[in-house]
């Protein structure tokens, strides 16, 4: 099965999710549109954990 984005606004998120999946050793083709809200939250958590100098 192929990962498939069906909207016009999550392109960058899909790219980041694909890269993250590959870097973590997961099958990027297993990504689903339903995974994107959780991945968006994961990115926010990562960004907010960066110390502000």
User: For the chain, what are the domain ranges?
Assistant: 11-48
What's this model's pTM, rounded to 2 decimal places? Answer: 0.81
Q: Which residue has the tokens 């689903």?
A: 32
Q: Per-residue b/e over 22-45, b at no fewer than 16 CB within 10 Å? A: eeeeeeeeebeeebbeebeeeeee
Chain-centre distance for alpha carbon 16? 5
**pLDDT tens sequence across 3-42:** 788 888 889 999 999 999 999 999 989 899 999 999 999 9
The count of residues in the chain is: 53
Pick 45 or 8 by higher pLDDT: 45
**pLDDT at residue 41, rounded to an integer:** 98
């Amino acid at each position: 099965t192929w990962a498939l984005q069906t909207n016009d606004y999550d392109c960058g998120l899909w790219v980041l999710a694909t890269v993250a999946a590959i870097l973590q050793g997961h099958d990027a083709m297993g990504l689903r549109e339903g995974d994107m809200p959780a991945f968006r939250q994961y990115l926010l958590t990562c960004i907010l954990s960066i110390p502000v100098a």
